[in-house]
Structure 1
Amino acid sequence: MITIIAAAAENNALGKDNDLVWHLPDDFKRFKQLTTGHFIIMGRKTFESFPKPLPNRTHVVITRQTDYNPDGCIVVNSMEKALELAKDDPQPFIIGGGEIYKLGLPYCNKIELTRVHASFDADTFFPEIEEGKWTLIQSTHHPKDDKHKYDFTYLTYSRK
């Protein structure tokens, strides 16, 4: 099962200037819990937004740059090559950014989406989820609180 995992605003905003536009600690915890022990597939810009590689995950970075070779990562030039590398993982995760989500959407069976209940000025967006192709199988609301400036909902979709 190939899973896309993302946090996107009501207007599908993902981020701006290669950074998130919100801080949701509980969403970070959930991301860590779900992805630990798995392959995580991402674009170069997403990888470069991390201070260092994330622990206990196999990083696969998709880039067109032929001389890109960061420590602790496998570098490929296509989604197909990334998925081939991750074929023995029962649940590899596609973790972004916007272009990588678009490339990965046709291959994935599941979407773990944190819908942030606000709209943001952004330069990177999550693709539209086509209702006819996906079924919402779980929804868990998280109200804003002293650690979370925005309400958000964990949404799990399964391909029809």
Structure 2
Amino acid sequence: MNEIDIVLVAAVAQNGVIGREGDMPWRLASDFRRFRQITMGKPQVMGRKTFASIGKPLPGRTNIIVSRDPELSIEGCLTANSLEDALSLARADASAKGVDEICIQGGGEIYRQAIRLADRLRITHVETELQGDTVFPEIDPDVWEATEEERVPAGEKDDYPTRYVVYERRR
């Protein structure tokens, strides 16, 4: 098996907002379907607050929760006290399953730490600006190159149109 890539998966408003009061500030059913397709079978790394906003382990994926609380135990999930420890668990899981990606799914602090380690970004750009208290780190064009792009009109169960972009780290 080749290298296991670290991939950040996020939905980001035009002003960088990804969350508000512990939840996402939009409803995007079409993006949830894409998210499920991208992440199924792969280890997922997320912070404790992101996990709390979901409320349960995502099925079909190894859920790894990062928390500073060494006593934290969540049924159906692995826990780690740092991003580095979480990535070690995720690499072992990905290798055992024969998958080539680890998916980082937030929140803001985890994204801030992980973007420097990431190989790829899978970003749903939400075509609006919203108020929020959690933001995604800047996607620096000197570091990241857009390699795929798809415009997605707002569907029946979507609050906004989106633009799905895959960014690869420039080598």
Kept in 1: contact 2:147–2:167 (CA 8 A): yes
> How many residues of Structure 1 are paired with residues of Structure 2 in the alignment?
160
**1:23-34 pair list within 5 angstroms:** 23-34=27-38
Alignment correspondent of 1:96: 106
Query: Of 124, 148, 153, which aligns to 1:114?
Result: 124
Unaligned runs of 5+ in 1: none
User: Is 1:72 aligned to 2:73, yes or no?
Assistant: no
User: Is 1:150 aligned to 2:160, yes or no?
Assistant: yes
Q: What is the CA distance between 1:144 and its match in structure 2? A: 2.0
Alpha-carbon RMSD? 0.9
User: Is 1:135 aligned to 2:145, yes or no?
Assistant: yes
AA partner of residue 112 (structure 1):
R
Alignment correspondent of 2:97: none
Greater shift in the superposed pair: 96-105 or 50-59: 50-59
User: Is 1:48 aligned to 2:52, yes or no?
Assistant: yes
Cα distance in 2 for residues equivalent to 1:111 and 1:135: 10
Greater shift in the superposed pair: 147-156 or 109-118: 147-156
> Counterpart of 2:46 in 1: which secondary structure?
strand
Q: What is the CA distance between 1:111 and its match in structure 2? A: 0.2
Kept in 1: contact 2:30–2:155 (CA 8 A): no
Q: What is the CA distance between 1:143 and its match in structure 2? A: 1.3
Alignment correspondent of 1:17: 21
Deviations 1:93-152 (A, max 9, x none): 000000000111111100000000001110000000111001000110011243222110
Cα distance in 2 for residues equivalent to 1:6 and 1:30: 11
Unaligned runs of 5+ in 2: 95-99
TM-score with structure 1 length normalisation? 0.97
Deviations 1:13-53 (A, max 9, x none): 00111101100101000000010100000000000111321
Runs of 4+ off more than 3 Å = none
Query: Taking every aligned residue pair, what percent have the same amino acid on both sides?
Result: 38
> Counterpart of 2:164 in 1: which secondary structure?
strand
